[in-house]
Structure 1
Amino acid sequence: MNPSSTLRQWLASDTPATRTQARLGAIYRLARRFLTHPIGVLGLAMVASIVLAAGLAPWLPLADPIAQSLDQRLLPPSAAHWLGTDTLGRDILARVVHGARPTLAIVALVLVISVPVGLLVGAAAGLWGGWIDAVLMRVADVFLAFPRLILAIAVAAALSAGLWTAVIAIAATGWPPYARVARAEIAALRRSEFVQAARAIGVSPLRLLFRHALPLSLPSAFVRAALDAPGIVLIVAGLGFLGVGLPPPQPEWGAMVAEGRAIVFEAWWVSTLPGIMILWLSLGFNFVGDAMRDVVDPGVK
């Protein structure tokens, strides 16, 4: 069964119990289809490995990620330090594991802010049309006109370094793509029968927005969020690399790459291993997003 038809079925359900049953059935079918997608399972395992390590970091037998020991600086990987040490003698394994925590937190917070804002703006523009559509989409166009990384760097440089600064800097340009996709989907359904029927029986505009329009744009929003996550990871790393991310000595992958770029030929492990983790997490999110796209809309194959 096509996932979009399943969504329309639960929207047409008469009772809350029937709607809940339809929603659970749709989620179950989508989950089963996703778990049969080998690339999706691989990507999920890659992302889950990072999430699990970051979540258990305080309880893992790791060294202090910010403790300095200058007599052990730039030690190569060994039994004492599995991934070696950096220019200040800090254990790279501990810093890589703890450095995943702010990256994952920023990705999650940016998506929590960008996705709902973009869906609300896009669904309202597509459903109501007219001057509301024109105003909301022109606002989205203004934010889309700015290069995302450049605007993030400008915002982060203007504010004090920190996790919420990075979140605000990235989320400021993160919501317009969701708004454009939601607007296109809802505008195509504006004159569909179930929307016209809801208007005919006196459904309020807000209820029409939240009850009918937003659920139909959720599947594509989830796919877009999974595919957007690698870009957020790279922007976070870019901010840290340029020194406008998290303040030192907090471990952060981009800052770790920047610390080792001048000695990459003498001590390759300082910058190479954090770079591999950036690649690993970004690739995992890409695999998950590709699989979700195939599951939600099998026609793209």
Structure 2
Amino acid sequence: MRLRCAVLDDFQKVATQLADWSAVADRVDVVSFPEHFDGLDELALALADFDIVVTLRERVPFPAELFARLPRLKLLVASGMRNSVIDHAAAEAHGVTVCGTGSSPTPPVELTWALLLGLARGIVTENAALRSGGPWQSTVGADLHGRRLGLLGLGKTGSRVARVGLAFGMRVSAWSRHLTQQRADEVGVELASSMEELLAGSDFVSVHLVLGDRTRGLLGPAELALMKPTAYLVNTSRAAIVDQDALLAALHEGRIAGAGVDVFDTEPLPAGHPMRTAPRLLATPHLGYVSRANYETYYGQAVEDIRAFLDGAPVRRLG
């Protein structure tokens, strides 16, 4: 009996192009879904006849209720080696093996700098004006050299962002609850005395923390109020780390110079969401990890995970 595999949220329709699925073609039929399924009912209905599901990052939650409604599901492959929206205990209880894939921190670093540079030099505003016959030069760019870049988090992504900042000649400092002087010295950055000091003294603030109980809502109204009115905030980590209402208020009231955001409280972002029309905002549709090399890794290793599972020796198990 042939098995059926669903590939979720294949927005660009590239899942079967960027990996060689021939290793499992004799045993598995692959169906790619370019549309996003909203809500548990729609998702459960779409996946009812599938034995295997491949999902990207944390786009689609898999709670206990969903596993209960998918009795045919035996293997769930999620890109990356950590996924907070999968109920691993429920997966195990329903006999579903969960596997992951490799993931490079480099694409999010590059997008972080794309957003930061775009904000600093008014790229979108100036490009739109040039193409529409608008004013010739309407913005005055913010300098990077000699300015302070404050990083919330100095892990795999944050440390790489730091090194680029240093190459620009920026003064780079970092803070997180467990960041040590030794780690800061290894990367070559200053250890901020507190989050409050980092926010108040930085010209650019970039978020690179893992979402958890201690970081959810970490930057609220009081924290954003500490930032300079000339400062920029970039978040390519997780939307919930920054209070979305507080951020929108700060942007509308001009209390910060601008924000670059790649992550949102609801994804895909609804058509009428206020983030779509907020002033001083440079936003991208969660592109941080969306690059050819990363997708080749995700889908290529998803095929490996499927083959190993079918051979009775699952690899890269999560849980």
* TM-score interval (norm. to shorter): under 0.3
- TM-score (norm. length: structure 2): 0.19
Greater strand fraction, Structure 1 or Structure 2: 2
Which has more radius of gyration?
A: 1
